[in-house]
C-alpha cells in the first residue's frame, strides 16, 4: 500500500502575519526550521500507525512551497515517513486553492498512491477546500474531517466527530481514496534525536512544473481565480502593561507581583 501524506509549512502562530508587496503571505520570512501544520502532523501519525499494522506500507510526504519548505519535509521524515517529494518552482508564487489543487493532483499522479492523507484545514488559511478539490481532480472518494481512520484490505473507514454531540459518524469507501484529518484525533509523536539525524539521509525528490507537465500560466498569480485587494489588521490591541524587551528584570518582577497579589503562587 502506498500512502502519500500532504504536508504544508505554515507561519508560526506566535508570529505576527506578514505580507509581501503583492499581498500574498510572506513565506520567505518563515522560520528556517519550518513549522509543520498541526493537522498534517496528525495525518503523518495516522499513516505511521497504519504502517505499523501492515508490512506492505510505504509512506511518502509531499509538499508544495518555496525552498525553505524542505525543512518541514525533514520534520515529517523524522516522524517516520520513508521518503519525500518537494514541488518547488518560482512560478507557483501566489497560487490560490484552485491552482494548488491542480499542482498537487499532478504530483500525486506522478508519485502514485493508494491512500492520500492530509490535514482537514491549514492553520494559516483554514479554508478546508483543498481535500475535496483534490478528490474531484483525482476522481476518488473523499472522507473529510475525520478524527481517525481504519484501513481494511481494499477499503477505509473514517471516524468523524460531530460538534453537536459525542457520537462518531463512520464513513467508509473503497480505495484509492483521500482522507482529511483533524487535529482532534491522534497527536503526533515528538521525534527522538536519532530520527532527526536519520531524516537527512532519506530520499527527498524535488519536482518542478516541467516535471509535472504543467503550464506556468495555470498556476501562481496568473492562474489564480481570485485576487487579494486589501489586507486589514483587525486584531484587538489593548494597552501595553509592560514591555519585556525594554526591561526584562522589571517585567519579571511585575509578573511575579501580579501572581502573588492574586494568590496564584
pLDDT in tens, 95-128: 888 999 999 999 999 999 999 999 987 877 767 8
Nearest 10 degrees: CA dihedral of 14, 8, 180, 87? Answer: 170
Average pLDDT, the chain: 87
Label residue 16 by pLDDT band (50, 70, 90): low
Total domain count for the chain?
2
The reply to whether 40 and 154 lie within a common domain is yes
The reply to whether 56 and 144 lie within a common domain is yes
pLDDT(29) > 90: no
The reply to whether 193 and 78 lie within a common domain is yes
Using alpha carbons only, give the angle 149, 155, 160 rounded to the nearest 5 degrees. 30
CATH number at residue 94: 3.40.50.620
Label residue 33 by pLDDT band (50, 70, 90): very low
Inside any domain, residue 116: yes
The reply to whether 96 and 177 lie within a common domain is yes
Summarize pLDDT for 212-258 with one digit per residue, the tens: 999 999 998 888 888 888 887 776 666 667 777 778 888 888 888 88
Summarize pLDDT for 173-184 with one digit per residue, the tens: 999 999 999 888
pLDDT value, residue 144? 92
pLDDT value, residue 57? 95
Inside any domain, residue 233: no
pTM for this model (two decimals): 0.81
Inside any domain, residue 212: yes
Inside any domain, residue 231: no
Give me Rg for the CA atoms of the chain.
Answer: 21
The reply to whether 159 and 192 lie within a common domain is yes
Amino acid at each position: 500500500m502506498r500512502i502519500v501524506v500532504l504536508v504544508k509549512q505554515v507561519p508560526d502562530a506566535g508570529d505576527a502575519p506578514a505580507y509581501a508587496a503583492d499581498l500574498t503571505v510572506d513565506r520567505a520570512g518563515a522560520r528556517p526550521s519550518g513549522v509543520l501544520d498541526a493537522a498534517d502532523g496528525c495525518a503523518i501519525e495516522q499513516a505511521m500507525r497504519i504502517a505499523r499494522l501492515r508490512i506492505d506500507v510505504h509512506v511518502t510526504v509531499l509538499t508544495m512551497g518555496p525552498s525553505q519548505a524542505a525543512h518541514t519535509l525533514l520534520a515529517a521524515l523524522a516522524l517516520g515517513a520513508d521518503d519525500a517529494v518537494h514541488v518547488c518552482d518560482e512560478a507557483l508564487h501566489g497560487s490560490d486553492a484552485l491552482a494548488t489543487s491542480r499542482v498537487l493532483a499532478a504530483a500525486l499522479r506522478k508519485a502514485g498512491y493508494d491512500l492520500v492523507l492530509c490535514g482537514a484545514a491549514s492553520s494559516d488559511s483554514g479554508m478546508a477546500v483543498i481535500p475535496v478539490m483534490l478528490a474531484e481532480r483525482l476522481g476518488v472518494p473523499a472522507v473529510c474531517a475525520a478524527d481517525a481512520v481504519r484501513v481494511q484490505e481494499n477499503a477505509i473507514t473514517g471516524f468523524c466527530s460531530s460538534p453537536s454531540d459525542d457520537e462518531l459518524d463512520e464513513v467508509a469507501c473503497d480505495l484509492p481514496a483521500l482522507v482529511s484529518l483533524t487535529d482532534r484525533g491522534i497527536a503526533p509523536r515528538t521525534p527522538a534525536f536519532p530520527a532527526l539525524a536519520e531524516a537527512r539521509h532519506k530520499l527527498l525528490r524535488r519536482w518542478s512544473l516541467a516535471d509535472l507537465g504543467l503550464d506556468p500560466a495555470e498556476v501562481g498569480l496568473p492562474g489564480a481565480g481570485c485576487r487579494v485587494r486589501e489586507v486589514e489588521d483587525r486584531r484587538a490591541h489593548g494597552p501595553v502593561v509592560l514591555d519585556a524587551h525594554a526591561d526584562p528584570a522589571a517585567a519579571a518582577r511585575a509578573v511575579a507581583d501580579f501572581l502573588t497579589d492574586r494568590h496564584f503562587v
